[in-house]
Amino acid sequence: MTTNLLPTIYILSDSVGETGESLLRAAASQFPFERLDIRRMPYIHSTEEIDEWVQEAHDHQAAIAYTLVQPNLKSYLEIKAKEKDVLCLDVMGPTLEFLHTITDLKPKNEPGLIRKLDNAYFRRVEAIEFSVRYDDGKEPRGMLKADLVLLGISRTSKTPLSMYLANRGLKVANLPLVPEVPPPPELFQVHRENLIGLTIDISNLNNIRRERLVSMGLDSDSSYAQDLRIQEELEYAQGLFRRLRCPVINVSNRAIEETAGKIWQIYWGTHKPMD
């Protein structure tokens, strides 16, 4: 199969141009192009900018795709592109016209609305990526950038709570506490309002750890699941919580959603609610 190099396409947008680029790349995936050379020209708000980019497209034998929604700029671009013999595609227009036809409603013609609608979505994605990156004490510096840092000994639901809260837009780091491993110095730089300690009853944790060992094909009588060891770890964690002066939540017999709800109450008590 022969591949071809597609000429450069300039995307002119009165927002960031993501919509136009995504559509073009999706369409280009159906063709045997070697590559697709797309160059975004975002935040077009004047006819002077259109003059500049149409001239550049003409000089470089490039094409233009646009997602301009302001009628005056759309009309001006179409006229100038025709004058310069530059191939020009209205990416947004046909869809707007289609929706107008089936709904009999007029479009708002306001740039950037999709980004406003998607802010919450992008915030969740960013929070999830953050929480994965800084899970289980990885890269302690992440604690300084987190909205919340969850602290607790092994099997106190730190990771599932981090993911649950990240899905609601919070950047969460978590740190496992082990008596033999000193906490990283970054922990003591985190504001105590951003710290939550997690604890659990000995009997509950004993059962959880035994089940965990069995699921891994290991001896359920390991010291990891012994009451004496668990008590040692819990006392160490409680001492650290007192030192940090952070709130503590007992996760015994609580669903993840219930514990997360209590964490949100604490967070909202010291921070402004998120949009």
Whether 4-111 shares its CATH topology with 119-270 is answered: yes
Instruction: Please report the pLDDT score of residue 118 as a whole number.
Output: 55
Phi (first) and psi of residue 110, to 5 degrees: -115, 125
Q: Domain ranges in the chain? A: 4-111, 119-270
- Provide the CATH topology of domain 4-111: Rossmann fold (3.40.50)
Higher pLDDT: 233 or 218? It is 233
Confidence of residue 216 (pLDDT cuts 50, 70, 90): confident
**245 with 224: CB under 8 angstroms?**
no
Of the listed ranges 93-102, 231-240, 242-251, the least confidently predicted one is 93-102
Span 170-200, pLDDT tens digits: 999 999 999 999 999 999 999 999 999 999 9
Report whether pLDDT(108) > 50.
Answer: yes
CATH code linked to domain 119-270: 3.40.50
Most trustworthy range by pLDDT among 36-45, 66-75, 149-158:
149-158
Q: What is the pLDDT of the chain when averaged over all its residues?
A: 88
Confidence of residue 165 (pLDDT cuts 50, 70, 90): very high
| Helices 113-133, 158-166: crossing angle, 10 deg rounding | 170
